[in-house]
């Protein structure tokens, strides 16, 4: 099925942020930013004109052949968390898995704007692009730096090597300073979608975890599953989705195929045709910025995703072939783009909604159609019937 919203610029700019670093950075929360332009300190950023595809950061020779030595574990906007909701956050970059000591190379020619060596295993370096002033790359979980702040770095030069305790990887983020922010201030940087800059060996369409799950927007209780499920009032709809691909099959750790998709589109159709359609998730519109509290991080992450423990039984921590549970109705119902959606509390499908006094969703059967698209353009569709019974 052709993606019905792919050509439309009608995104609701839903987003959230993550704090991938410990200590003073782990306390940072994530703010949803819906920015039409991101400006560096002291002026306006030029257009981000980095030309994809770029070599992977573990590939100093250029393009191709890198899958034998590095793998992708987490992508931009992906759900992260452990056994309790207060551990929830969104991933603000891409994790390339490779052993400690693996050389890391500059993706583009630029100048080192910041180097942080304060926390072992969480050291990072930020390099501003020469070709796109105001935009750059942050490389985290690295050590043995070859350059210092202010140095010019050419594309393909080794800048550091991987150093992490646990699942060894480099965390790569596409960043720009927020208005009034600075390269040296972790709280002043905004992370942008980094997925589209690289090529992937991926001919697998995203996978769903059927059926859809339905929750009351008032009580939070789950509607009993049925054939079809019967819903009423304000309804939250949740879809389990994950993405794989050859680059996501890690042979060392045995964990993979759990990446975020690039885009999730939804429509509600009745007997007379489509009644509502929208974008539930679009990684390309996310703007992620570290904020002041961990609580804000959790709240905003759970605007995009449902805590897995509320959806599936057992341990909800992340592992192999783990699904993320996308909140399909959590969009700006006002229709105005550019709003921080977390500030609007009416994130639901209102089955009692009326237009000019006429119910939009009179009692009866409706189709919920969900389309998931990954970074390589592969797409899957899940179609399900639900019954509205308000009387």
Check residue 61 and give its pLDDT.
60
- Label residue 343 exposed, middle or buried (CB < 10 Å: 0-12, 13-18, 19+): exposed
| Nearest partner of 274 among 4, 2, 93, 1, judged by Cα | 4
Q: Cβ neighbours of residue 190 under 8 Å, at least 6 residues apart?
A: 33, 35, 38, 175, 176, 177, 178, 181, 287, 288, 289
DSSP conformation letters of 46-64: PP----SPPPPTT-TT-SS
Q: Which residue has the higher pLDDT, 72 or 90?
A: 72
Rounded Cα distance, 307 and 301, in Å:
9
Sorted by where each begins, the domain ranges of the chain are 23-197, 207-388
Overall size of the chain counted in residues:
391
C-alpha distances (whole Å) from 32 to each of 18, 38, 360 are 10, 13, 31
Q: What is the pTM of this model?
A: 0.83
Contact 218, 233 (CB under 8 A): yes
CATH code assigned to 23-197:
2.70.70.10
Over residues 201-236, the pLDDT tens digits come to 899 999 999 999 999 988 889 999 999 999 999 999
Examine the pLDDT at 67 and tell me if it is beyond 60: no
Check residue 235 and give its pLDDT.
96
The DSSP call for residue 300 is H
How sure is the predictor about 32, in pLDDT bands with cuts at 50, 70 and 90?
very low
Rounded Cα distance, 253 and 79, in Å:
19
Over residues 123-164, the pLDDT tens digits come to 999 999 999 999 999 999 999 999 999 999 999 999 999 999
The DSSP call for residue 351 is T
How sure is the predictor about 252, in pLDDT bands with cuts at 50, 70 and 90?
confident
Examine the pLDDT at 342 and tell me if it is beyond 60: no
Check residue 159 and give its pLDDT.
98
Lowest-pLDDT choice from 111-120, 307-316, 380-389: 307-316
Strand 379-388, strand 229-231: pairing: parallel
Check residue 48 and give its pLDDT.
67
Q: Which residue has the higher pLDDT, 104 or 299?
A: 104
Indicate the average pLDDT of the chain.
81
Lowest-pLDDT choice from 167-176, 226-235, 296-305, 363-372: 296-305
The DSSP call for residue 309 is G
Contact 87, 81 (CB under 8 A): yes
Check residue 130 and give its pLDDT.
97
DSSP conformation letters of 98-133: --TT-EEE-SS-EEEEEEE-SSTT--EEEEEESSST
Check residue 294 and give its pLDDT.
75
Q: Which two tokens stand for residue 271?
A: 């007997």
């Amino acid at each position: 099925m052709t993606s019905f919203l792919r050509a439309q610029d009608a995104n609701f700019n839903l987003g959230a942020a993550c704090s991938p670093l410990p200590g003073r950075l782990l306390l940072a929360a994530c703010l949803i930013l819906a920015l039409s332009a991101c400006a560096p300190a002291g002026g306006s950023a030029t257009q981000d004109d980095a030309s994809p595809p770029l070599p992977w950061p573990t590939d100093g020779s250029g393009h191709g052949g890198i899958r034998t030595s590095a793998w992708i574990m987490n992508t931009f906007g992906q759900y992260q968390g452990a056994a309790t909701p207060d551990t929830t956050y969104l991933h603000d970059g891409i994790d390339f898995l490779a052993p400690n000591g693996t050389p890391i190379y500059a993706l583009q020619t630029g100048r080192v704007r910041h180097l942080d060596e304060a926390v072992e295993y969480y050291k990072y370096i930020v390099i501003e692009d020469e070709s796109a002033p105001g935009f750059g790359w942050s490389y985290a979980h690295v050590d043995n730096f070859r350059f210092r702040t202010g140095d010019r770095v050419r594309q393909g030069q080794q800048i550091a090597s991987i150093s992490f305790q646990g699942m060894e990887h480099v965390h790569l983020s596409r960043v720009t300073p927020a208005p009034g922010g600075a390269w040296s201030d972790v709280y002043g940087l905004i992370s942008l979608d980094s997925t589209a800059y690289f090529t992937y060996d991926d001919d697998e369409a995203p996978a769903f975890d059927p059926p859809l799950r339905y929750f009351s927007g008032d009580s939070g209780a789950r509607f009993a599953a049925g054939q079809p499920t019967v819903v009423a009032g304000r309804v939250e709809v949740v879809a389990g989705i994950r993405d794989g691909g050859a680059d996501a099959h890690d042979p060392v750790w045995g964990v993979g195929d759990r990446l975020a998709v690039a885009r999730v589109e939804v429509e509600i159709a009745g007997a007379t045709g489509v009644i509502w359609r929208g974008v539930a998730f679009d990684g390309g519109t996310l703007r992620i910025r570290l904020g002041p509290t961990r609580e804000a991080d959790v709240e905003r992450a759970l605007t995009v995703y449902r805590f897995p423990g509320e959806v599936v039984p057992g341990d909800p921590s992340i592992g192999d072939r783990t699904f993320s549970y996308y909140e399909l109705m959590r969009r700006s119902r006002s229709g105005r783009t550019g709003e921080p959606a977390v500030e609007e509390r009416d994130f639901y499908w209102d089955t009692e909604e009326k237009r000019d006094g006429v119910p939009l969703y009179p009692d009866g059967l409706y189709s919920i159609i969900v389309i998931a698209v990954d970074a390589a353009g592969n797409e899957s569709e899940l179609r399900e019937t639900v019954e509205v019974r308000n009387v």
